[in-house]
Every structure is written in C-alpha cells, then in structure tokens.
C-alpha cells in the first residue's frame, strides 16, 4: 500500500513537472502586428522566414539582396537615422505595380513600417539590370537582424534578411 502511495506521488510530481514545462513554452512572446499593416500581410509569412538565407552583395552596383530576385542599393549604409534605398526586383516585368515593404525585427518579434512615406510605393521600370526599381527613404527603428518582406501587388515576392547595426 505504501508503494502505491509513493507511485501516485511520483506520478503526480512528474505530471506537474511536464505541465509546468509545457506552459513555459506557451509564454513565448507573440509577434506584435501594427494596426495599420496591410491586411494581405499574413502572420504565416513571418513564420516562414529563413533567417539563414542572408542577403549578399552581387553585381557591380553594390546591390545587396537575393541575386536574380530582389536587392537594395543603400542597405549597407547607416539606416537607423534615415537613408535612401534603391529597391531592385527581377522577374517583375509588369508596369504600374506596387511594392509593399514590411520590416520584421527578429529579436523583438515586431513588425514595422520602414518606408518613411507609408507601407507601399510604386515601382518604376528597368534599372541596373533589374526588371523594376524604385527609390525610397527608409528608417530602421532599431539595430538587429531584420527580415524585409517585399510584396508586389499584394503578393509576397521575396524576403531579404539583413543585419542592421547603425
């Protein structure tokens, strides 16, 4: 009888330990989404970010991004106080398209508008070998690892992963 009581106490203790550990996992911080974020930006887009796929420099113009998909001139410049970036996209040959830029800060799990003039800008024609381009002013709110999600005409087009330190 004493052995059964001990087994019940041990089993109950293990159960409490398992419940306690699993409830710690649910306390993980959730992604903070701004109220004015475009409704076609999905939280699942953020969950699918490949943080190992860092943007790299390619071409002779100092473009930093994902070769033959998207990249930026200016991403290597200090952007915490504001900076001009020139966006370049390949595989987008339609005129009069829109580009929505969504910044996601990895550490804080927060989504930010990084374009100074809103979430979305219009794309222009070919430039520097890209099919479409546009300049913009950006302001990155804090240093750290960032995923920059690019939406063309409300569809996820590409994700650029940058380390922004200044």
What confidence tens digit (pLDDT) does each residue in 152-161 have?
A: 999 999 999 9
Q: Tokens representing 49?
A: 């970010």
Average pLDDT taken over every residue of the chain? 85
Is 0.75 surpassed by the pTM of this model?
A: yes
Question: Cβ-count burial of 108 within 10 angstroms (0-12 exposed, 13-18 middle, 19+ buried)?
Answer: middle
Give residue-wise pLDDT tens across range 109-153: 999 999 999 999 999 999 999 999 999 999 999 999 999 999 999
Q: What percent of the chain has pLDDT over 70?
A: 82
What's the pLDDT score for residue 18? 42
- Reported as half-sphere exposure (CB side, CA atoms, 13 A), residue 128 has a value of 23
Give residue-wise pLDDT tens across range 30-79: 888 899 999 999 999 999 999 999 999 998 899 999 999 999 999 988 78
Give the span between the Cα atoms of 108 and 6, in whole angstroms. 45
What's the pLDDT score for residue 20? 45
């Amino acid at each position: 009888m004493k052995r059964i009581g001990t087994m019940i106490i041990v089993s109950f203790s293990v159960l409490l330990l398992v419940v306690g550990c699993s409830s710690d996992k649910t306390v993980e911080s959730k992604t903070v989404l701004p109220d004015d974020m475009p409704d076609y930006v999905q939280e699942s887009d953020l969950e699918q970010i490949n943080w190992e796929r860092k943007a790299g420099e390619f071409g002779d113009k100092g473009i930093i991004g994902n070769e033959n998909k998207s990249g930026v001139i200016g991403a290597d410049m200090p952007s915490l106080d504001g900076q001009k970036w020139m966006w370049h996209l390949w595989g987008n040959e339609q005129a009069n398209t829109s580009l929505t830029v969504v910044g996601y800060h990895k550490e804080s799990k927060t989504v930010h508008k990084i374009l100074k003039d809103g979430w979305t800008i219009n794309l222009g024609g070919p430039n520097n070998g890209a099919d479409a381009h546009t300049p913009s002013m950006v302001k990155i709110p804090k240093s750290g690892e960032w995923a920059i999600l690019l939406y063309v005409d409300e569809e996820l087009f590409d994700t650029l992963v940058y380390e922004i330190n200044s």
